[in-house]
Every structure is written in C-alpha cells, then in structure tokens.
Amino acid sequence: MKFEKLKFATLNSDEMLKRSSHYWEKLKSRRSVREFSSESIPLKVIKNIVSSASSAPSGANKQPWKFCIVKDPKLKKKIRVAAEFEEKENYAHRFPEEWLIDLNQFGTDWHKDFLEEAPYLIVLFKQVYDLKGSKQTKNYYVNESVGIAAGFLLTAIHNAGLIALTHTPSPMGFLEKILKRPKNERAFLLIPVGYPKAGTEVPVLTKKTFNEFAKIY
C-alpha cells in the first residue's frame, strides 16, 4: 500500500462558520418528493452525482456498492409494475396497523407513478461479498458503508438542484432480477431523481431541535 501526503487547506474560524452555516441552510431545504416531472436531465449530471456518492468511505476501502442508473422507459415500467405488486401486498396484508397509521398522514398508497415519471431511477445495490469471477472475498461493514454512500448520493442530488425519494419497496428482490445483477448483490435503495412536477406540494414537517437530536459532553 502506497501513501501520499494529505492535501488539506486549513480554514479560519469565520470561514468555517460561514461554510457550515451555508451548508446547513442548503440541506434544510431538501425534501422527499413523490411527484416528478418527466423533463429530461443531462446524463452527465447524473454521472457526476453518482461519482460523488462513490467517494464515500467504506470498510477497508472495499467500496461494496453498485449504482445502477435506469433511464430506459421499458425497464422503468417493469420496475414500477413489480414494485406496485409488492407494495399492494404490503398495504393490504404485511404492514402492521401502527405503520399504516403513521403513513396515512402523508397520503401514500401502493400506487408508484413516480417510478415511470422520473427521468432516472438510481438503484443502489450492496455487495454482500466481493466477487471476481468465481472467487469470493469478504467485504466489511457493508450496510454501514452503503448507508454512508446513500447519504452522499442524496446530498449530491440536492446540491445539483434536483429532487429525490428514498423508496424501499419490500421485498426488493425483483430489482436484482429485472436488472440482472450478480448473485453477490442485494438491492438497498430505489431512488427516482428529477425535477418536481409543477404545483407539487410537500407535508409541513417539524424537525427535532438540536437539544433533542444531539448532546454535547
């Protein structure tokens, strides 16, 4: 393993405060959205977003993820049909009553029009082990690593001036089949990306205060 000198520029306190405040204000405006415009987006923008997400740290630098960018309308249709099948079962039989009550305030149901309306779907897969040919090797802290990459992905989407939704139809095995992924990959998140539809509304949410979500020791 070779090492190189860290490239790091020290900022003064005022600049750190300015940057951290600006970033906080920007992220506060991020919202999960379920109504997408079909307006096209340059593929290069999506590639930059995914490349940003791939810069996330990972256990032993194994980078146990695969980002599948879906823009083909036929594939998006297949994904929607399969996702709606699972979600219809969830709402009718699988979800506990408490979960349905919590979801009801957002007006969601098993219909997932956004899976076809959004110009892109980004499907994030976790690689439960590394696979090179027939050789299997261990990956470390897979869920943690892929979860961090998902956070990078969402912030990169927001930074690019786009919207997204973290969609987790359960079970998600249909994604592995439709996209013909190798046996070491499991679907982690299904994220539609695009512009909001004109007139889109979002719920008025109250976030926890700093003292509720953090403690200084």
d(CA 121, CA 70): 5
Q: What is the pTM of this model?
A: 0.92
Work out whether strand 65-70 and strand 120-127 pair parallel, antiparallel, or are unpaired. antiparallel
Residue 202, H or E segment: none
In words, the CATH class of domain 33-198 is alpha beta
Q: What digits encode the pLDDT tens for the residues 20-77?
A: 999 999 999 999 999 999 999 999 999 999 999 999 999 999 999 999 999 999 999 9
Q: Judge whether 194 and 163 are in contact, CB under 8 Å.
A: yes
Q: What digits encode the pLDDT tens for the residues 174-214?
A: 999 999 999 999 999 999 999 999 999 998 989 999 999 99
Domain boundary assignment for the chain: 33-198
